[in-house]
Structure 1
């Protein structure tokens, strides 16, 4: 059993070989969520191996989660819990800090601070990684509501995410339930683009580039985390704002990840697709009004908002959803 010099991580035999793991939790002004999440991560880490470290990257400029993390770390037993403060604003800076702090590890796992892992989440991710040895393993995120959503939210199914059979290759992922093989990531020289730190989307660009450069990403349907959706997000305004931002970011990602000589064509494509979504979404909304179907009205508005975001992004506008 080999011991790393940094972070007190012990490397132990896993199915498929020796591997050291860092679980990264990025947080911003959610110390109350950490108090719930960290003990759950410790429980799972303790059942897998002692070669697990939990890393909390605090993006609060005041380092507001320091004391809560220290309290958990003091009683974490054999699983190290480490706190670092990342003062540069934006989630991309936090993600890059996690990459830097995990430079001694082979595997980095991202989970959001407002999520909760289900039983066997960690083991399922690591088992899938051991089986396929991909550049990334992606797991499903299921939503749980703080309060009962209004019918418009339910009808739209806005918090329902795609799922696939375990072993299915995927080409795009978020970092809300993501395992990265850092050996492959380092070899490809990838980092999160901090130009997307306040707008969002750096994880989509990162995984898109990872896939384009030949990194295999594999789905693990058993590695489920629960997204605790607060009441503040269960509104039409939030859903439509998020759809606009995602459309805006998607156009920017397509433009950024394209050779300079091809950007005019990509820009025209984004304009055409954005326009089609605006018109198609409005048509679906009107159809829903005529036939009295709430799902059509809700999804039509969301589609139109995403299309409007694509149009704005295609002409260079940046929507800063996470501006502080």
Structure 2
């Protein structure tokens, strides 16, 4: 495929990566489309089907395309589902296989492919392959970007628990939305429900999502904090909801503990990148270890407020996760058992 001009500076590489195979494409792919929805996918074909159905049912008059990234080059379970929807004409788009496994590889592949394939696109949204968009999601997100001029727009991801008995976890920090109401916000933390304007990618540079977060997760948190340090504006749209399917395996006590440890590790690495001097790094280390006894106080407050031990323990697991990361110990939940290099 020939290289497509993106309108970005020459030092930002958004050309299609030669290692990424284009495995499905809609009959009519119009490069003048201005809105692209990006979907990284890994071993969840049935969930991906629900995600694509929710996009096909969007209540909007705006034209949009979809870029699906299959990140399991061994099984490619998402490809038949993607090909079916793209052939149906419900929306235009394409599906590529990113052979380098990992969260950041998949997301970078989605955005880079979208930037290169749709040079007129101004708005790039993302939804995960285990999420379902509300019918007016796309319209609300794009309208907010246009009316506010924000560089990044975010919205809530609401959990749908497979185990109805775990609904009380909706208030757990692992599942609760970052904000309650619409308006300008300091930063957003996750890319599972976001819109990023095209100039953002040029300013942040490539790769957009730092590969150091590839198996830990948190590349989105790092990305948005880099945007914040560059002075970009964020807006939250509480009505632009997405529902996330939460299996039983992600409501167990062990998963919640690992989640807290991972958040602590992510926080450490994000802060570590912003500490260029030896002294600032020493201060960061002292801060992390000082947070350990303080986290007990926060845990007591959380227990008195929520009366749920799983919620109360979260501040402690985050603090422990940050301290462990500082000495090189951290979970790697996005590292699959079989990786295709």
- Flag whether TM exceeds 0.5 (same fold): yes
d(CA) in 1 for partners of 2:67, 2:311: 38
Confirm or deny: 8 A CA contact 2:36 2:114 kept in the other structure.
yes
Q: Which residue of 1 aligns with 2:205?
A: 189
State yes or no: 1:88 paired with 2:100: yes
Confirm or deny: 8 A CA contact 1:26 1:113 kept in the other structure.
yes
Higher relative contact order (CA 8 A, sep 6+): 2
1:141 Cα offset (Å) = 1.1
Confirm or deny: 8 A CA contact 2:154 2:188 kept in the other structure.
no
The number of aligned residues is 305
- For residue 162 of structure 2, the aligned residue among 138, 146, 156 is 146
Q: Which residue of 1 aligns with 2:30?
A: 9
- Structure 1 gaps of 5+ residues are 13-19
- For residue 270 of structure 2, the aligned residue among 238, 244, 253 is 253
State yes or no: 1:23 paired with 2:41: no
d(CA) in 1 for partners of 2:290, 2:232: 30
How do 1:40-119 and structure 2 match up within 5 A? 40-44=54-58, 47-50=60-63, 52-62=64-74, 63-77=76-90, 79-103=91-115, 104=119, 105-119=121-135
- Structure 2 gaps of 5+ residues are 7-27, 337-341
Instruction: Render the CA deviation track for 1:229-280: whole Å, top value 9, x for unaligned.
Output: 1111121111111111111111121112322342221222122124421x33
Confirm or deny: 8 A CA contact 1:240 1:305 kept in the other structure.
yes
d(CA) in 2 for partners of 1:283, 1:59: 41
Q: Which residue of 2 aligns with 1:213?
A: 230
Q: Which residue of 2 aligns with 1:267?
A: 285
1:150 Cα offset (Å) = 4.6
Q: Which residue of 2 aligns with 1:17?
A: none
**Partner SS for 1:149:** helix
Q: Which residue of 1 aligns with 2:9?
A: none
Structural RMSD (CA): 2.5
Task: Go from structure 1 to structure 2 and tell me whether the alpha carbon gap of 1:11 and 1:81 turns closer, same or farther (over 3 Å shift).
Answer: closer
- For residue 167 of structure 1, the aligned residue among 183, 186, 193 is 183
Task: Go from structure 1 to structure 2 and tell me whether the alpha carbon gap of 1:64 and 1:155 turns closer, same or farther (over 3 Å shift).
Answer: closer
Task: Go from structure 1 to structure 2 and tell me whether the alpha carbon gap of 1:249 and 1:275 turns closer, same or farther (over 3 Å shift).
Answer: farther
TM (normalized to structure 2)? 0.82
